[in-house]
Structure 1
């Protein structure tokens, strides 16, 4: 479930990524070190609101068949944990904190089920990247 994968980051200190990723057992689908994971620093209800009045429809040109994406109306505090070196075990991460609009996919009940991305641009621009996938 989406909210289980995107819990609050335990503090505003983004240097905790290695511990948080390890403590929560966050890996890729094969059980290997995950390249990147984004944590949303907001109450669950606030994230759910993106699927309602706290968000607006969003179209991702790279995913034209996906129609259930919603962009947050307000920016969120997020921490992006990136793998430092994919060839070294155990997994070691470094984090970066941002305040960005986020895009989530919503199910028919109006619950967020997938974190699609955060937007690294101001709303007037049309340049998007930095994708996070489960």
Structure 2
């Protein structure tokens, strides 16, 4: 599973690092196909004028990868992955495409009366 051993591989394979070329402290992967994520910027999201982001209508599973060895430099980046479910994804859209992951929020549970 991605959350247990995939963070190290994916981050290394995609050459993800911070602006100084060091290990990035945190990275998040959305577990979905690209069309579902793209839909957030194409009518399946709610635009927030206060910060220019768009919140997904659909809920997603995400894996948050946190650096275990702070201050490490490539290639010694090691991550702890955490699976988060039922998350509203917040992104920045440009040209109807998600270009920046902003955050994930807990989806509200609905209870029927």
TM-score range, shorter chain: 0.7 to 0.9
The count of aligned residue pairs is 106
Q: Give, in whole Å, the separation in 2 of the partners of 1:104 and 1:30.
A: 24
TM, length-normalised to structure 1: 0.71
**C-alpha displacement of 1:123:** 7.6
Of the two, which has the highest radius of gyration? 2
Distance 2:65 2:16 in 1: 11
1:78 paired residue number: 62
Which one of the candidate residues 31, 46, 53 is aligned to 1:56? 46
In 1, the alpha carbon distance for the partners of 2:25 and 2:7 equals: 12
Which of 96, 99, 103 pairs up with 2:90? 103
Give runs of aligned pairs for residues 29-68 of structure 1, distance below 5 A: 29-58=19-48, 64=50, 66-67=51-52
Matched, 1:91 2:88: no
Q: Which runs of 5+ in 1 are unaligned?
A: 1-11, 125-134
Runs of 4+ in 1 over 2 A off after TM superposition: 120-124
Question: What's the CA shift string for 1:55-90, capped at 9, x where partnerless?
Answer: 11235xxxx4x32x1100111111110000214451
TM-score by length of 2: 0.83
Going from structure 1 to structure 2, the CA distance change for 1:121 and 1:46 (only over 3 Å counts) comes to closer
Is the Cα–Cα contact under 8 Å of residues 25 and 67 in structure 2 kept in the other structure? yes
SS at 1:45 equivalent: helix
Match of 1:118 in 2: 104
